[in-house]
Structure 1
Amino acid sequence: MSAAHTVLGEVAPDRLGVVAAHDHLFIRSPLLPGQELHDVADAAVRLSGFGALGGGTVVQWTPYGMGRRIAELPSLSRDLGVHIIAATGLHQAAHYTAELLDSVRDRLAELFVTELTEGIGGTGVRAGLIKVAGGFHGLDAHAVSTMRAAAEANRRTGAPIAVHLELGTGALDVLDLLCGQLGVAPGSVILGHLNRSPDFTVHRLAAEAGARLAFDGPSRANHATDWRMPDALRALADAGFADRLLLGGDTVTPDTPGMSHLLRRVVPRLELTLGKGLLEQILVTNPARAYAW
């Protein structure tokens, strides 16, 4: 039977509750010097705030080599009563040193499978998804090799593949590679950051292909994409793709509004456009299916 693989073990999908389908408790990158999310006490405050607003599960998309702090996640989840799902995978090359990439380049699929089935770094905590990344309007050689490894890990485990789309672009290229060439079932692919490129035609084509569509995190470039998100979700729901939709906060720096903002400000706004029933499907039913394997 399919289950969500949380940091405390397998959980029945219908026990996840309200899900932030893409967020981060811990993350660091050389591209964001001085803006790391590394403090355990701060993570506890943010997770507690999310839980107090009715949140049940946070899916941390932080992949290998980016400060996941895996050993801290079980106690945070246990103490605060919020499920956490951790990720394996690899981000864009710019987020890593050349030395780190050289150390894993030839064993990516095995690394992903090990972290999904045996545990991460000797902690015994298993990952529950594979995080990879595309580029701006396309895929470079690093993205292609990483996605090939993710596809192999998906074939061997069934774990979903969550994809960072740079500024929301490249969704169809990702699907051409993962699903068209590598044989990944479209329902196992979660396309992230679609809210950052409010191209309703691309959204519709990705939904028609069978992928899951994540609208996750406020824009950090301008506000034009944010106020279009309710209309994008409504258009997809009206076209028959309500079961494809996911929401997240994507906290990546200390000043990101994040997961509490998702429930405190974004959800009430979306309720006006979508209604309570559809919003519950997006926050509860859809992620329960997306993250069960």
Structure 2
Amino acid sequence: MNSEELGFCQCHEHLMIRKGGSCRINTALCMDDFSKSKREVLRYKEKGGQTIIDAQPCGCNRMAAGLCRISEQTGVNIIASTGFHKLAFYSENHWIRFLREDQLADIFINEIVCGMFENLDDGMDSEQIPARAGIIKAALEGENLSMRYEKLFYSVCCASRETKVPIMVHIETGSNPMGLLSYMLRQCIEPNKIIFCHMDRAEPDLSVHKSLLEQGIFLEYDTIGRFKYHSDLDEIHIIREMLDAGFEDQILFSLDTTRERLRTYQEDAVGLDYILCSFIPVMKENGITSGQIEKISRSNPVRLLE
């Protein structure tokens, strides 16, 4: 996929999630109405959006066939995820807790090479569809690389080495992203195949952001229009500091949408087109150039995914 095919890309969204463990933890993590999700993506396309990376992994209420249908019917590229999320989202008897590293890696590789499983939430007996995953999701919590999380991270590193597919990591507040990055580099993952997400709300110390970027990874910022955390001007301050430090080739952005942030599900939500319609004009007003925005929204995603 080249830059023309990829177009404007938001690199961490959630478009369709069925009821299940995620919803029990947070009711906003259920977007199971195909018509509403499709209309949201069409609005994004009308404003200039062309690609979305959907960050919901297998076994965690992902609706793979629904994502495929939305992409086919809207013409928007949707890059789906395999991998794992926070363990709180899985039941105590979920397979992700008990399979060996090699078995987990085989599932993730299978989803990338052969096709995604439609529903692995409650067991391993699931229909496999032709559409394949294009990115590997992982999640770092406060317990960091405990025994159970090291097993999961080892498995996604194996899958990434085998397939050359990037790893996108959810970074939780209070975790140790520098320690995780050291581990992933020891597992021979190329830095330009690693994305750390949510650092703009998980880590207030911007020197940590710079230290990570110095290793060659991507940071994906998505605390945009999320005013319970900070204002858009605060977000722009973070992005500006990284750009001014010379990291414009390693920054990505998105909204990390939930039910409460999609306008077709909640009328007063910011909507999937918020970056295009509202945030980019404010970026320009505050000294971020069109060329830098072009890199964040188009060129950098291409380099990540090529």
TM-score (normalised: structure 2): 0.85
Name the SS for the 1:164 alignment partner. Answer: strand
- What displacement does 1:223 show? 3.7
2:258 and 2:207 map into 1 onto residues whose CA distance is 28
Amino acid aligned to 2:257: T
Q: How many Å separate the matches in 2 of 1:137 and 1:283?
A: 33
Q: Secondary structure at the match of 1:254?
A: helix
Q: In structure 1, how many angstroms separate the alpha carbons of the residues matched to 2:231 and 2:177?
A: 17
Give the equivalent residue in structure 2 for 1:3.
Answer: none
Shift of 1:232: 1.6
Give the stretch that moved more between structures: 151-160 or 23-32.
Answer: 23-32
Q: Distance in 1 between matches of 2:3 and 2:136?
A: 18
The match for 2:79 is 85
2-structure distance, mates of 1:215, 1:208: 16
Q: Is the 8 A contact 1:137 1:166 kept in 2?
A: no
Once structures 1 and 2 are overlaid, which stretch shifts more, 101-110 or 150-159?
101-110
Tell me the equivalent position of 2:235: 229
- Give 1:121-140 correspondences, 5 Å limit: 121=117, 122-136=128-142, 138-140=144-146
* Unaligned segments of structure 2, at least 5 residues: 118-127, 263-269
Equivalent residue number for residue 18 of structure 1? 8
2: CA distance between counterparts of 1:271 and 1:137?
39
Correspondence 1:164 to 2:138 = no
- The CA deviation at 1:225 is 6.3
Once the two structures are overlaid, the 10-residue window that deviates more, 19-28 or 140-149, is 140-149
Report what 1:280 is aligned to: 294
Q: Shift in Å at residue 189 of structure 1? A: 0.4
Check conservation: 2:138, 2:169, Cα contact below 8 A.
Answer: yes
**For the structure 1 residues 111 and 225, does the alpha-carbon distance in structure 2 shift closer, same or farther, using more than 3 Å as the test?**
farther
Over 3 Å counting, the alpha-carbon distance change for 1:57 and 1:102 in structure 2 is closer
Distance in 2 separating the partners of 1:76 and 1:101: 28
Pair 1:117 & 2:113 matched: yes
Three-state SS of the structure 2 residue aligned to 1:210 is coil
Answer yes or no: is 1:270 the counterpart of 2:260.
no
**1:9-88 equivalence runs, <5 A:** 11-28=1-18, 29=22, 30-33=24-27, 35-88=29-82
Contact 1:85-1:127 within 8 A present in 2 as well: yes
Name whichever structure is richer in helix by fraction. 1
Quickly say closer, same or farther: Cα 1:168–1:64, change in 2 above 3 A.
farther
Aligned residue number for residue 189 of structure 2:
184
Residue 190 of structure 2 aligns to which amino acid in structure 1?
Answer: A
Cα distance, 1:165–1:173 mapped onto 2, change above 3 Å: same
The worse-fitting range, judged by mean Cα deviation, of 118-127 and 231-240 is 231-240
State the Cα distance separating 1:230 from its structure 2 match. 1.1
Go from structure 1 to structure 2 and tell me whether the alpha carbon gap of 1:219 and 1:50 turns closer, same or farther (over 3 Å shift). closer
CA RMSD of aligned residues (A): 2.1
Q: Secondary structure at the match of 1:98?
A: coil
% identity of equivalent residues? 29
Shift of 1:33: 3.6
Deviation of 1:191 (Å): 0.5
Counterpart contact for 2:223–2:230, Cα < 8 Å? no
Q: CA deviation at 1:284?
A: 0.5
Deviation at 1:258, TM superposition (A): 4.7
* SS in structure 1 of the partner of residue 50 of structure 2: strand
Q: Which amino acid aligns with 1:270?
A: M
Q: Distance in 2 between matches of 1:110 and 1:13?
A: 31
Q: Which amino acid aligns with 2:290?
A: K
For 2:143 and 2:219, locate their aligned partners in 1 and report how far apart those are by CA, in whole Å.
17
Tell me the amino acid that sits aligned with residue 203 of structure 1: H
Shift of 1:24: 0.9
- Is 1:214 the counterpart of 2:228? The answer is no
Q: Does 1:261 align with 2:266?
A: no
The alignment's TM-score, normalised by the length of structure 1, stands at 0.89
Q: Which shows bigger deviation, 39-48 or 23-32? A: 23-32
How far, CA to CA, are the matches of 1:83 and 1:284 in structure 2? Answer: 13
- Aligned equivalents of 2:200 and 2:59: distance in 1? 26
